[in-house]
Amino acid sequence: MGLGINTMEGREAKHVTLAKFTQNTQFSNRWAQLFKHEYVSLFWLRENGCDETVHKETTGLYVPKRCSTSQFCYCGEPKQVTEMKCTFCSDPLRDIICQCVVERKITSAAKDVLNH
């Protein structure tokens, strides 16, 4: 847009950001890394559809499509086709943790696990 539209606060914010980037670069090729980062973040990502300002409406819950197949558990981990849950979800410790969440307190089974 040009510097005529930017405010002094905008220029100061950009200067602070550039100063932070320079702290994480090597001294010998600092400006090359800095300009490369600026190009990627300001132009390349936007041209390739990775614009941060674009908001996608969702239903508030994202469950990958693979979770509805027989090879994956609802949590997203792979499982045997013949099993209902993956090894993580079928672990007895997970049942103890779920019971603590339901009861909103540390159950005696959980205390037994912690003491051993």
Q: Which letter does DSSP use for residue 103 in this model?
A: H
What is the reported pLDDT for 103? 92
Query: What's phi and psi for 6, nearest 5 deg?
Result: -70, 145
95 in any annotated domain: yes
Q: Which domain holds residue 15?
A: 8-47
116 in any annotated domain: yes
What is the reported pLDDT for 1? 45
Residue range 35-75, pLDDT digits in tens:
777 777 777 777 777 766 666 666 666 677 888 888 998 88
DSSP letters for 78-100: B--TT-SS-TTTT-HHHHHHHHH
2 in any annotated domain: no
72 in any annotated domain: no
15 in any annotated domain: yes
Cα(75)–Cα(87) distance, integer angstroms = 11
In the chain, the number of structural domains is 2
106 in any annotated domain: yes
1 in any annotated domain: no
68 in any annotated domain: no
| Averaged pLDDT for residues 82-110 | 90
| Averaged pLDDT for residues 17-42 | 73
Residue matched to tokens 């979800």: 89
